[in-house]
Amino acid sequence: MIDQQKILVVDDESINRNTLSKLLEDSYEILLAKNGVQALKRLADNPSIDLILLDVMMPEMDGYEVLRQIKQSDQNTNIPVIFITSKNSPEDEEKGLKLGAIDYINKPFHPIIVKLRLENHLRSVRQRKLLEVMVGYDGLTEIANRRKFDEALYKEWLQSRRAGSLLSLAMIDVDFFKKFNDNHGHAEGDIALKVTAKSLAGTIQRPADLVARYGGEEFVLLLPDTDAIGATLIAERACAAIESQKIIHGFSEASDFVTVSIGGVTLTATDAPPESIIKIADKYLYRAKEEGRNRVIWGGSEIIM
């Protein structure tokens, strides 16, 4: 966690962008946007932005509207937004704070004060992110994160090596998710991911089973001590459970609703190291996609690369 924190500075006037960037670039990584559209694009391209400094008066889309749109995606709800503006009336400030800004800085601003306030907010951001990683949970879907999965996979792989027991792993991908996001919007995309995570979590029962968000629209299901028949059954149930949520997907070639493709493998630790188990499951996932998506393809270790 020693990475530089990222600040997005949004202001239509280049002199403000330059001043703020000079003030902060020694301590932080600075991204710039000169209007609302650009700001939203930067944010979509850099989900790890830690804080946004947002001008209010900008042509076309003003800062209030930008904030409204930012807050539409659950992925962004934790990113603190600070208004920095010459609209200095208490009513303006009230409006900004009510919309969800965490702070309000008046222009002309005092560089030292800006810096100190940002330091305070960014300290909280760092602590929250650290906590998320430490507890092993994904902030959006509230299921395990990739780090927790990596640890669990290694632990179960060791157990399989000791006991010679079977280990099943499924890789899961939301079908045509990019098209979903592009057409239905990121806010709907977040809901689809949350519902998918919840449906997946609902299909496992034993304490050692784990559902995790692997990244983006990819999930994993780790099923220790489970044979291929049992694991396939669980995967089939997960696949059906997600489609039965009936989240309209107007741009999927697989169904009218949000669906997933699942590729899985059952093997023992002697067949492959943990990284290869993921790769093998991924090959079956690829096959599930090739064969039309919204389905489960399960195999054994015979696909060794």
| Residues binding Mg ion (CB under 5 A) | 12, 55, 57-58
Radius of gyration of the chain (CA): 23
Q: How many CB atoms lie within 10 A of CB 114?
A: 18
Three-state SS at 304? coil
- Closest to Mg ion by CB, 12 vs 282, is 12
- Closest to Mg ion by CB, 57 vs 233, is 57
Name the residue type at position 291.
E
Shortest Cβ 64–Mg ion spacing (Å): 12
Determine the longest span between alpha carbons in the chain, in angstroms.
70
Shortest Cβ 256–Mg ion spacing (Å): 44
Q: Which residues are paired to 54 by β-bridges? A: 10, 83
- Closest to Mg ion by CB, 58 vs 277, is 58
Sign of dihedral through CA atoms 106, 110, 113, 119?
positive
- Closest to Mg ion by CB, 68 vs 123, is 68
Burial of residue 223 (number of CB atoms within 10 Å: 0-12, 13-18, 19+):
buried
Shortest Cβ 18–Mg ion spacing (Å): 14
Q: Of residues 93, 156, 217, 243, which has the active-site annotation?
A: 217
Three-state SS at 5? coil
Q: What residue is closest to Mg ion based on CB?
A: 57
Tokens of 119: 């330091």
**Catalytic site residue 91?**
no
Three-state SS at 251? coil
Shortest Cβ 49–Mg ion spacing (Å): 20
- Catalytic residues, which ones? 217
